[in-house]
Amino acid sequence: MIAALFIGLVACIVIGTPIAVSIGIASVVSMLQGGQSAQLFLVAQRMVTALDSTVLLGIPPFVLAGAIMGKGGISKQIINLCYELLGWIPGSLGVVATVACMFFAAISGSAPATVAAIGGIMIPSMIDDGYPAGYSAALLASAGIIGCIIPPSIPFVNYGLITGESVSELFAGGAVPGILMGVALCIYNVFMAKRHGWGSRTKGVNLGRCWKAFREAFWAILMPVIILGGIYGGLFTPTEAAAVACVYGFIAAFFIYRGVKLTDMLDIGFDAVKTSAMILFICATANAFSFIVTKQQVPAKLASFVMGITDNWVVVLLLINVILLINGCFMETTASTYIYTPILYPLIVAFGYDPVQFGVVMVMNLTMGLITPPLGINLFVSTGIDKRIKLADQIKAVWPMFFVLVAVLLLVTYCPPVSMTLVNLVRG
């Protein structure tokens, strides 16, 4: 039954079936192969049950808020502020692009949205300033990953829903790792820019221009302060925060920056509905998949198998990291979260590893797949921004950045205080 489940899933993916449909078909085939055709109603039942959650109510508003802010001219204000503050650094445009992605990540919560919003401005500017086209696109694709790590983050919401762990604690756990990822990419970019002589746009800091840029970007950078401050201050839950983000995003984009018109809202809403529907459809079918996996005691068997091989938690975590990194190359983050969490969660609990820290590690692992072929969604988003970019050149340039991010991943995996210091403060 389990063999049919995974073979069916792989077969559907190979022939190009959408991931949500692939998961659903694999679940039905597994039930039929296991002689449980009379219980096929359980697949539909589990799909409905998966969506009957207040936690998932936060996903559509967060998606809509990110879409509004992304098309409302917010990214330009953030980039201007970053450039005024960081323009003195060698390779400044690459650093500005990375830091701008970190700021925008705290607004959108989506990696592809971050790449599209910041990359649309920064990639052509970097190319014009002497950076290779492939490198410019690769840097934005890599920095876009931070959109899934720095809160608010949709993958953290999904992990919290599956495991019952606090979404607020997961948000807190992702803050420092997300910042470290951005810092690591900035350091790499400075090294490469100085080594190859890329970029000429460096200038000293002018307090007057900095203050002007800050005033113009104030309402944009205030959004994550309101959202996260409200959550940790006890003013509203993460689900309620999504609604607040949506309302605030509309007010900022429509009334303050005036980058969005009422006529634009229909297209923005339609895009948000499509994205939300895709995420929720995956959540539904993946819950049926997870039900079968749990019913067949795969987590317990895996825990017993691994602990029979080694009781060294260092080796176990390394194996999990390798498995998830490979999986990220082929499967979308939401689907992977729903498939692997029920399997690995009992295992890491048995080893005494903090489930919140593991949630951060798992999301970091799976989002790496956004810059690794053949999935590499961020790569395709950034490639489409400028005609001068060739996918082959971008793939070649992205691998060193991938290993830089893996180094941060290993630090977070084996050094708990990196992600857990803020979590422990939230726990009190």
What does the pLDDT read at residue 39?
A: 67
Task: Write down the pLDDT at residue 303.
Answer: 64
Q: Please state which of the ranges 53-67, 92-106, 233-247, 392-406 shows the lowest mean pLDDT.
A: 53-67
Task: Work out the average pLDDT over 277-306.
Answer: 74
Closest among 356, 258, 269 to 63, alpha carbons compared: 269
* Segment 82-99, tens digit of pLDDT: 888 888 888 888 999 999
**C-alpha to C-alpha distances, 157 to 92, 145, 229, 412, 427, nearest whole angstrom:** 34, 16, 17, 20, 18
Query: Average pLDDT for residues 131-140, to the nearest whole number?
Result: 94
pLDDT of residue 302: 66
Mean pLDDT of 400-422: 95
What are the pLDDT digits (tens) for 10-20?
787 778 777 77
Query: Given this model, what pLDDT does residue 1 score?
Result: 64
| Per-residue confidence band for 40, with pLDDT thresholds at 50, 70 and 90 | confident
The pLDDT-based confidence of 142 (bands split at 50, 70, 90) is very high
Q: What's the rounded mean pLDDT across residues 37-63? A: 76
Output the pLDDT for position 12. Answer: 78
**Mean pLDDT, to the nearest integer, of 254-273?**
84
DSSP designation for 176: H
Question: Which of the pair, 291 or 136, is modelled with greater confidence?
Answer: 136
Q: What is the mean pLDDT of residues 270-285?
A: 81
Does pLDDT of 223 surpass 90? no
User: Would the pLDDT of 407 be above 90?
Assistant: yes
**Cβ within 8 Å of residue 405, ≥6 positions away:** 142, 145, 181, 184, 185, 364, 368
* Choice between 18 and 428, residue whose per-residue pLDDT is larger: 18
Residue from 401, 363, 366 nearest 382 by CA: 401
Dihedral in degrees, nearest 10, Cα atoms 260, 262, 267, 273: 100
Confidence at 420, pLDDT banded by 50, 70, 90:
very high
| Rg (alpha carbons) of the chain, rounded to whole number | 22
pLDDT of res. 139: 96
pLDDT band per the 50, 70, 90 thresholds, residue 369: confident
Domains of the chain by residue range:
55-275+298-427
The answer on pLDDT for 245 being more than 90 is no
pLDDT at 271 over 90: no
Residue 232 is predicted with a pLDDT of 76
Q: Average pLDDT, stretch 102-126?
A: 82
